[in-house]
Homo-oligomer: A and B are copies of this chain.
């Protein structure tokens, strides 16, 4: 039995998120169906983490196990067989016990907003025409760095052992008419990026000061943070593993 990592991109528009659920069209279900058909055996995959309904990924990682050899042209065959909104970038053999979820050391997301109406970005970026103060949003974003309790930005109904995460990167970047929030952490809580972006926008709109923002972090109270921005601007862009997972 050998284990493999798949590097997957998907447009989340048509899916009820990543994770398999009864009677729902999910990316994981679509991938398991195609892999099982192509490899002629029941394949289950394990993703690095869930993404919510409508959230996209440019590099989601998932593992699966398979007896014997993989066909050489598996990536090509999968891409021919999978719907147009899911693509496979690579399949890579890994250590037998490598685990996409437990071994990930960091994850990155990007949140895209466009400020001028664009007919071509409808489900790919959040249209937010109001003027925001980007330097101030970056000043607030810096307060997120480091190991902190982020319960204020977590969905209320979530069962986790700890709300502590280490954020390594949190910054806004202007790209033509778009504004992109880059965030990297060892782990994320459910709904965290969308709540962070919504609260940072409140700073950019002048509804909150940077001090208010720090107080919200410290309050550990979800009711204090801003609204979650829509899912369709969010992309999972990278999951990082230690080199040891690629060793046999």
Contacts and interface: CB of A to CB of B under 8 A. Distances in A.
Contact of A11 (B11, B79, B84, B122): B122
Contacts of A71: none
Contacts of A190: none
A-side binding surface: helix, strand, loop or mixed? loop
A68 interface: no
Interface string A78-110: 010000111100000000000000000000000
Contacts of A120: 9, 11, 56, 124
A163 B118 CA distance: 35
Interface string A115-131: 01111101010010000
A84 to B, nearest CB: 5
A10 interface: yes
Contact of A118 (B87, B117, B119, B127): B87
A119 B79 contact: no
Contacts of A87: 116-119
Contacts of A84: 117, 119, 122, 127
Interface of A: 9-11, 56, 79, 84-87, 116-120, 122, 124, 127
